Amino acid sequence: MTELAKHYDHRAAQARCRALWDSLRAWHAEPLPPGSGDGRIFSIVIPPPNVTGALHVGHALNNTLQDILVRARRMQGYRTLWMPGTDHAGIATQAVVERRILEEEKKSRHDLGREALVARIWAWKEQYEERILEQLRDLGASCDWDRLRFTLDDQCAGAVREAFLRLFKRGLVRRGKRLVNWDTFLQTAVSDDEVFHEETKGHFWHIRYDVIDPKPGEPASVTVATTRPETLLGDTAVAVHPDPAAALDAADRDLREKRAAASSKDQPTIDAAIDDLAGRRRDLLPLLKTLAAMAKDGRQVRLPLLARPIHLVADEWAKPEMGSGCVKITPAHDPNDYDVGLRQSLPMLNILNPDGTLNAAAGPYAGLTMKKAREKVVADLEAAGQLVQVEDRLIDLAHSDRSKTPIEPYLADQWFIRMGELAQPAIDAVMSGRIRIVPERYAKGYVDWLSEKRDWPVSRQLWWGHRIPIWHVSGVTEADLVAAFTGHDTISWQPDGSDGFFVCSSDETLPVEGIANKDLVRDSDVLDTWFSSALWPHSTLGWPAATPELACFYPTSTLVTSRDILTLWVARMVIMGLFDTGEIPFREVSIHPKILDRYGETMSKSKGNGVDPVDVVEALGADALRFALAGMATETQDVRMPVDFQCPSCGHLIEQTTQNRTKPRLDCPKCGTAFRTQWAKTEVDLALPRGPAVSEKFEAGRNFSNKLWNATRFVLMHFDEADSATARGGLLAAGDPFAAAPMEDRWLASRLASVARAASSAIDEYRYAELARVLYGFAWDEYCSAYLELCKSRLADPAHRDRARSMLLLGLDTILRLLHPIMPFVTEEIWQQLGAVAGNRRMPWDDPDSPLPESIMTARWPEPPEAWLDTKTERQFGTFLAVVAAIREIRSRQNVPPRQKVPAAIRAPSDMADLLEPMRQAIESMAVVELATIRPDAVGAPGAATASVAGCEVFVDLADLVDVDAEIARLEKDYAKTEGFVKAKKAKLANETFTSRAPEAVVAAERVQLVELEDRLAKGQESLAAFRARKAQAAS
């Protein structure tokens, strides 16, 4: 037969498999024709990767898990669709492209203009999308490649406009001023989710505001404190608590309650706080009461530097237990102050230009950046004598996740989606179990987040994205609109609150450019990128059109994602899915862990601690990558993956540390070769050979692929050209193969049945790691190490050869099919090899009337019959393996050369002897012994080494080979161990409460064990005595 190479060649195999799958379009799914009944449907939409860059190992995990589910279901006969696509990722992509253009061409987006920038981003998208798709296919992802979607393509855009119009018509879209996190670099608002906080050293400035025309008994000034003194330019009030006495009482009560519940360690801290409150009551309360009265009286204070009079207001936001008890109010630049501003009807004074400089409202400070303004404001305050005190303090400064620059809170016009009535159905869907989140604990975060029902701000001041489908027109009447748009049900409008209207349409453009000589001006903002993502499950299937795809594959079956976008994305998909279609978008959500580095930090490009999946695929194969990732996908929230640099010259591994992981070049400490890392930028560094970041975790998968490959080589070795086609193909056809079969065959069948069941249920329950572990253990330890070894002698015997061959094929074929979802390439490659030799073979679960499929991808998932399960045989086989292991241990201890056959005997109770007798040859070959007898009265040669296992006594006659001291040491150790167990058991059984309260079965089992242990102890003592005597004899 064909000679197979000694090592599995993953590169060649991957290329061949891809070509095969593509030519068969085995990944393609057609919807059921309408009205043709239900059928078994399985569908997944891919969490669309951002087109910002290449995929990392986290994506590899996410997509591996999806592919496992998809491939398994496809084999199980489901009509299976995996919808692929990518995400335009608004702000992230625009930021990347803008930064690159700035770096390379020194141009800003304003230099380019909207149209040109968007064109550049499209070009970027084409390039990276292609790369991402190539990576997915390298990984083996069996997406339906005929159905590729992009969140910004025409189909998705149509769905976005339609969904937005429907929300608009229902009154769920509102316009409002809102404080946004303003990114002065990108000149856009970013969501709270795109902001990170960083502690920086700062100051706490105490500033005096003078009271205007103080009356007798009133203070001349109030002091407020701030970490951002420049914002005082936008102050429109100073607040004091309306009832400071009551507020202090409440604070005191809270602290005392807390103290009662606190540990003794924390109590002093709380006591100090209570003391502080008492001090405030004494020193500060009279002043605060006066100020509160003044505030109610409408009194004003003078804003330092600008000399603008501003109101003193009474508002509960000012906490008398903190600071001076008074607080400056800057409604346009602080979220809490904004709320105060709304409550107190204060002016909202915006002092910021979009580029981060101060505007005209800042008077003499106009044109300065916030940073410069701060310096000047502080200096001027000091000069004016208004600065009371400066403290050092650590402050949490908000930064934009995208540009890494500080955020300025900024008041801007925004569109919002009202969440009040939208959130509840999404909460209910999870609470009622219609959507199941696995692991369940993540449901809590989902429900809590949705329960706040906070309106969703959807405007982004960006150019890359879905332009908000709203036009504004002013100076017209409703009658004008009716006249212009009657008959267009794709258009809706609402008044803008003054003399105009907002017009929303699901069409790309409006039929007219103006109304009554007034221009219709389109909103320049785009939608939050999550808006189009929220529609992903139904928009990709054709919604709003009633497509056969939508009818067949929606709701989708499972969503596979990681926990960090459970709210951002998952919750919003449920909301929008329910709103648009009335149906949930998916039935189950499988949450998988995040991959962290050696130090427990998330992997990211900016940290440079990531592994490039392409490196792994190239070096070890996609299957190796997939196997390792599946093995890491446990129920835990995170898994660590230690990463090393590999020397490209000698292969030496250099541990990645916090020190070296962002170095552009490294020198191998072993061979001295200099190599570059992913950080290389300079031409000198780039000329060096690349040293990939690797993890040893993936080698297990590569080794496993090779193990399977070699098991196949062994099996195929025993088929040859002389075999007739029937002999090669029909081996498994003949009736019930196991009724009168030898024990090892019944054992294999039973194990196959158990393992197939375990695999199926692991997939049903999203236990990916267990799936990988069970199949690895079975294939390696049971099929290869045990069964295949046993077959070696049978294959040499013409009487048993055909049965052994067919059983080997049965086992191998089943393993391949079960493993295919995890390791598609190696299993396909082997399947093709088997096909060349035994293409007519049939598994009992195959359709007897049609030929085997050309690809394992569409082969039937193994479903061994219940009758194959045979726990008794599995137990007996375990005894046999234990006997072999015991002999091997003796040999190893005694340093018997591995190939040297030694005489042995087994003393076994008669039932056990009957069982072991048929396995005599197997024991002899696996343990390399010459078995004299297996009988209840067997005895070993004088001085034979012994071991007691599973109620049997094994004698290995080592004659002169025996190392008496080694044997005594081994026996003593074993004796001591056994003695300990016996003691513990006896104590347990002597315990009256145990025997009376524990279940009968448990007690009985303990008794049986005690008997066995005591027997083993007696035998051990016997052997020990013999060897001690022998030693004494030798000494004399």
Partner RNA sequence: GGGCAGCUAGCUCAGUUGGUUAGAGCGCCACGUUCACACCGUGGAGGUCACAGGUUCGAGUCCUGUGCUGCCCACCA
> Rule CB under 7 A: which of 752-791 touch RNA?
769-770, 773, 777, 780, 784-785, 788-789
Least separation in angstroms between residue 597's CB and RNA is: 10
Nearer to RNA, 102 or 348 (CB): 348
Interface positions, 990-1009, toward RNA (CB under 7 A):
991, 993-994, 997-999, 1002, 1005, 1009
Least separation in angstroms between residue 207's CB and RNA is: 9
Question: What are the tokens at 880?
Answer: 């046999």
Of the candidate spans 122-130, 522-530, 532-540, 629-637, the one that interacts with RNA by CB under 7 A turns out to be 629-637
Nearer to RNA, 271 or 508 (CB): 271
Q: What angle do CA 814, 840, 783 make, to 5 degrees?
A: 25
Of the candidates 936, 970, 971, 939, the one whose C-alpha atom is nearest the C-alpha of residue 951 is 936
Q: What angle do CA 1006, 1011, 1013 make, to 5 degrees?
A: 90
Least separation in angstroms between residue 637's CB and RNA is: 4
In the set 47, 158, 244, 325, which binds RNA (CB under 7 A)? 325
Nearer to RNA, 85 or 621 (CB): 621
In the set 11, 114, 197, 690, which binds RNA (CB under 7 A)? 197
Least separation in angstroms between residue 876's CB and RNA is: 14
Q: Which residue spans within 229-293 are E strands per DSSP?
A: 237-240
Nearer to RNA, 227 or 673 (CB): 227
Least separation in angstroms between residue 996's CB and RNA is: 7
Of the candidates 574, 479, 694, 621, the one whose C-alpha atom is nearest the C-alpha of residue 9 is 621
Structural contact between residues 638 and 563, judged by C-beta atoms closer than 8 angstroms: no
In the set 380, 588, 638, 1015, which binds RNA (CB under 7 A)? 638
In the set 121, 711, 905, 945, which binds RNA (CB under 7 A)? 711
**What residue type is 296 in one-letter code?**
K
C-alpha 815/C-alpha 809 separation (Å) is 10
For every residue of 794-861, DSSP letters joined together read HHHSHHHHHHHHHHHHHHHHHHHHHHTTT-HHHHHHHHHHHHHHHTT---TTS-TTSPPPSSGGGSPP
Least separation in angstroms between residue 770's CB and RNA is: 6
In the set 221, 369, 547, 637, which binds RNA (CB under 7 A)? 637
Beta pairing partners, 357: 369
Listed as own residue / partner, the contacts of 730-736 with beta carbons closer than 8 Å and 24 or more positions apart are: 730/840, 730/841, 730/842, 731/802, 731/805, 731/806, 731/809, 731/838, 731/841, 732/806, 732/809, 732/810, 732/841, 732/842, 732/843, 732/844, 733/842
Give Cα 583 to chain centroid, integer Å. 26
Structural contact between residues 154 and 51, judged by C-beta atoms closer than 8 angstroms: no
Nearer to RNA, 145 or 317 (CB): 317
Instruction: Compose the 431-450 pattern: x for residues touching RNA by CB under 7 A, - for all others.
Output: ----------x--xx--xx-
Nearer to RNA, 710 or 840 (CB): 710
Of the candidate spans 151-159, 189-197, 607-615, 937-945, the one that interacts with RNA by CB under 7 A turns out to be 189-197
In the set 187, 350, 494, 710, which binds RNA (CB under 7 A)? 710
Interface positions, 251-310, toward RNA (CB under 7 A):
263, 265
Instruction: Compose the 447-466 pattern: x for residues touching RNA by CB under 7 A, - for all others.
Output: -xx-----------------
**Which residue has 């608002």 as its token pair?**
189
Least separation in angstroms between residue 640's CB and RNA is: 3
Beta pairing partners, 502: 472, 494
Residues 6+ apart with CB under 8 A from 579: 163, 166, 167, 422
Question: What are the tokens at 804?
Answer: 């052994």
Interface positions, 493-522, toward RNA (CB under 7 A):
none
Of the candidates 231, 106, 182, the one whose C-alpha atom is nearest the C-alpha of residue 355 is 182
Interface positions, 921-980, toward RNA (CB under 7 A):
977
In the set 697, 746, 805, 817, which binds RNA (CB under 7 A)? 697
Instruction: Compose the 132-171 pattern: x for residues touching RNA by CB under 7 A, - for all others.
Output: ----------------------------------------
Nearer to RNA, 298 or 600 (CB): 600
In the set 327, 450, 526, 838, which binds RNA (CB under 7 A)? 327
Instruction: Describe the crossing of helices 114-139 and 613-620 by its angle, rounded to 10 degrees.
Output: 30
Of the candidate spans 353-361, 627-635, 676-684, 726-734, the one that interacts with RNA by CB under 7 A turns out to be 627-635
In the set 319, 343, 801, 1031, which binds RNA (CB under 7 A)? 319
Confirm or reject binding of residue 1013 to RNA (CB under 7 A).
yes
Of the candidates 677, 672, 682, 639, the one whose C-alpha atom is nearest the C-alpha of residue 660 is 677
Structural contact between residues 903 and 930, judged by C-beta atoms closer than 8 angstroms: yes
Least separation in angstroms between residue 998's CB and RNA is: 4
Of the candidate spans 33-41, 157-165, 317-325, 581-589, the one that interacts with RNA by CB under 7 A turns out to be 317-325
Interface positions, 533-572, toward RNA (CB under 7 A):
563-564, 567
Size of the site for RNA (CB under 7 A): 99
Nearer to RNA, 217 or 999 (CB): 999
Interface positions, 607-626, toward RNA (CB under 7 A):
none
C-alpha 18/C-alpha 617 separation (Å) is 14
Least separation in angstroms between residue 758's CB and RNA is: 9
Least separation in angstroms between residue 73's CB and RNA is: 22
Nearer to RNA, 9 or 507 (CB): 9
- Give the pairing type, strands 470-474 and 521-522: antiparallel
C-alpha 892/C-alpha 96 separation (Å) is 62
In the set 107, 153, 193, 210, which binds RNA (CB under 7 A)? 193
In the set 127, 336, 477, 1033, which binds RNA (CB under 7 A)? 336
CA distances from 169 to 174, 579, 1006 (A): 11, 13, 73
Question: What are the tokens at 248?
Answer: 């202090």
C-alpha 671/C-alpha 674 separation (Å) is 9
Interface positions, 588-607, toward RNA (CB under 7 A):
596, 598, 600-602
Least separation in angstroms between residue 526's CB and RNA is: 22
**What residue type is 559 in one-letter code?**
L
Nearer to RNA, 253 or 441 (CB): 441
In the set 1, 19, 119, 322, which binds RNA (CB under 7 A)? 322
Of the candidates 595, 871, 855, 887, the one whose C-alpha atom is nearest the C-alpha of residue 754 is 871
C-alpha 182/C-alpha 407 separation (Å) is 5
Least separation in angstroms between residue 77's CB and RNA is: 26
DSSP 80: E
Interface positions, 883-922, toward RNA (CB under 7 A):
885, 888-889, 891-893, 895, 897-899
- Give the pairing type, strands 693-694 and 902-907: unpaired
Of the candidates 181, 182, 302, the one whose C-alpha atom is nearest the C-alpha of residue 232 is 302
Of the candidates 146, 101, 145, 150, the one whose C-alpha atom is nearest the C-alpha of residue 129 is 150
Interface positions, 344-403, toward RNA (CB under 7 A):
395-396
Of the candidates 725, 657, 646, 728, the one whose C-alpha atom is nearest the C-alpha of residue 692 is 646
Sort residue 633 into left (φ over 0), alpha (ψ -120 to 50) or beta: beta
Nearer to RNA, 474 or 761 (CB): 761
Residues 6+ apart with CB under 8 A from 430: 437, 443, 446, 447, 574
In the set 97, 136, 159, 225, which binds RNA (CB under 7 A)? 225
In the set 121, 326, 443, 913, which binds RNA (CB under 7 A)? 326
**What residue type is 735 in one-letter code?**
G
In the set 145, 317, 416, 975, which binds RNA (CB under 7 A)? 317
